[in-house]
Amino acid sequence: MAQRLHLVFGGELVDPTKTQFKSVDDIHIVGIYPDYATAYDAWRAEAQRTVDNAHMRYFIAHLHRLRDEETPASPTEELE
């Protein structure tokens, strides 16, 4: 069974109604987690920690959806 990795990250947004970060250099990488439940717990902790700043947002990215091992590699991946 394939791992279902999840990335939790966040930072300050330019506008709280959009998802553009104010500074990409300041994005906070919380971590990579082996399942959604663990990632959700990490996301919730960071979201609660920064609740007083309306411009701060944290997200969960489903890394396992970005790569399907059954799909052939693209030509650029073969350049290693």
Tell me the C-alpha distance between 57 and 43, whole Å: 10
Domains of the chain: residue spans and CATH: 6-74 (3.30.70.2400)
pTM, rounded to two decimals: 0.79
Closest CA to 59 of 7, 5, 3: 7
What's the pLDDT tens digit per position in 3-57? 789 999 999 999 999 999 999 999 999 999 999 999 999 999 999 999 999 999 9
Where does residue 8 rank: exposed (0-12), middle (13-18), buried (19+ CB within 10 A)? buried
